[in-house]
Amino acid sequence: MNYVYIARCADGTLYTGYTVDISKRAKAHNEGKGAKYTKSRRPVKIVYSEEFNSKSEALKREAAIKKLSREEKLALI
């Protein structure tokens, strides 16, 4: 499966990403091996996710979520 997720960083900011394994991705973020953005904002916690059958669907949804305002993302969570 393909997933889009929102992670809450230690500083309260939100990070949106794509993965095929949510728990592995969360671990990578918290070990500093995830995205550059989250590296200095650890620990992170996955607070929202959506599941998709195809990678292209997931990436389209990721792009759409990234365009949302913080308030809209919080409402989604």
Diameter over CA atoms, the chain: 32
In whole angstroms, give the CA distance from residue 75 to residue 21. 24
Task: Please tell me the predicted confidence (pLDDT) of residue 8.
Answer: 98
Report residue 64's pLDDT band, with 50, 70 and 90 as the boundaries.
Answer: very high
Going along the chain from its start, the domains and CATH numbers come out as 2-76 (3.40.1440.10)
Give pLDDT tens digits for 9-62: 999 999 999 999 999 999 999 999 989 999 999 999 999 999 999 999 999 999
Query: Which DSSP state fits 41?
Result: S
Q: What angle do CA 7, 8, 10 make, to 5 degrees?
A: 130
Task: Please tell me the predicted confidence (pLDDT) of residue 7.
Answer: 98
Task: Please tell me the predicted confidence (pLDDT) of residue 37.
Answer: 95
Whole-structure pTM value: 0.95
Strands of the sheet containing 45-52, edge to edge, are: 14-19, 2-8, 45-52
